[in-house]
Structure 1
Amino acid sequence: MYRFKWKRVGNESGFTLLEAILHLMLFVIFSHLIFLITQAYYQLTKIEDARIEMDWEGCVYDINTYLSMGGEVTVSNEGKNITIVKDDRIVVLRFNNNILWRNEKGGNETILTDVKRATFSLNQSELTLNATLENGAIKERIFIVEAAIE
């Protein structure tokens, strides 16, 4: 008698059209999600950079305000402190514990936070502030002072 061998009609090692469409849809969805996540991360880093720049410019504005009152300016403690003396008003700006502080009449106020290193240097009538921030940014600003004592 004849024996029939049943043969499978398809190739099990390949994809059907439905499987290929499903894989394509999953690829498109995941690639879109990855794109959205990277865009959100980029926006967050832009916001953080803007915040750091705003803090730096606020610090520079504050220092300009203290220097504009005139008086004698001295740099001490290996460039970590500056003292501004005008009549009976004494303002001390100092770098300590990764923070730039303002001290006046015994009270402390933060001017700039997240600072790795900061140094002041006085050369004739130019006061230079060099700062390295926690994010690695290196900042420098030169201020013109009227009366300076080196």
Structure 2
Amino acid sequence: MYRTTKRIFLSNKGFTLLEALFQFIVFMLLANIFIMFVLWLNQMNKTLMTNENVAWELFVQDVQQLFTNIREITVKDEYGQVEIAYVDSLERKQINRTGDVIRLQTNDKGYVPLLIGIRKVQFHLQDEFLTIIVEFQDGEVRERTFFVQTTNK
């Protein structure tokens, strides 16, 4: 009887409990590695989205700095251009969209890109509040309302 049992253990037919446990452990390790990869990929996507948030906040800061010592502000077209005239200067600045860039021009000359990678932009001026609505290439929509106080001298 001892020889029969020994022959069964030495034969390569079927799985033993030890082999099944080894395969289960390997499967669990691979599953953990896959889960860690998915979590890492999700973190990388959040990091990339953060860069877009930084670009938006920098744009907002740049635009806010333009709204000091203003004599007059006009929106020429809801989808087109904002023009700013300053109190102590003949300088006129325009914020407009060209292609996928919101740009700043001074006296219709040159341009400084303020925000890149947009699909469309809308400007709304109501009383002393200017609202800028931007849709990015990925479909995300951002909106900011600025208080613009004009000075009459």
What is the TM-score normalised by the length of structure 1?
0.82
Deviation at residue 11 of structure 1 after TM alignment: 9.0
Looking at structure 1, the residues matched to 37 and 64 of structure 2 have their Cα atoms a distance apart, in angstroms, of 41
Q: Kindly state the Cα deviation for residue 81 of structure 1 after the two structures are TM-superposed.
A: 0.8
Q: CA offsets, 1:64-109, max 9 Å, x none? A: 1011231211111333210111121211110121211111252211
CA distance in 2, matches of 1:71, 1:56: 26
In 2, Cα distance between equivalents of 1:69 and 1:24: 72
**Secondary structure of the residue that 1:15 maps to in structure 2?**
coil
Structure 1 match to 2:3: none
Task: Determine the structure 2 residue equivalent to 1:3.
Answer: none
In the alignment, the residues of structure 2 paired with residue 26 and residue 101 of structure 1 have an alpha-carbon distance, to the nearest angstrom, of: 56
Q: Give 2:97's aligned residue.
A: 95
Q: 1:60-79, aligned counterparts within 5 Å?
A: 60-79=60-79
Asked whether the equivalents of residues 69 and 150 of structure 2 are also in contact (C-alpha less than 8 Å), the reply is no
The answer for the alignment partner of 1:83 in structure 2 is 83
Identity over aligned pairs, percent: 23
Deviations 1:108-149 (A, max 9, x none): 11111121111001111111101112232211111111239x
For 2:30, the equivalent position in structure 1 comes to 30
Instruction: Give the Cα separation in 2 of the matches to 1:98 and 1:50.
Output: 20
Instruction: Give unmatched runs, 5+ long, in structure 1.
Output: 1-7
Residue 116 of structure 1 aligns with which residue? 119
Code of the aligned partner of 1:129: I
Cα separation, 1, equivalents of 2:93 and 2:100: 19
The within-5 A match list for 1:125-144 is 125-144=128-147
Asked whether the equivalents of residues 92 and 106 of structure 2 are also in contact (C-alpha less than 8 Å), the reply is yes
After TM superposition, list the pairs within 5 Å mapping 1:36-51 onto structure 2: 36-51=36-51
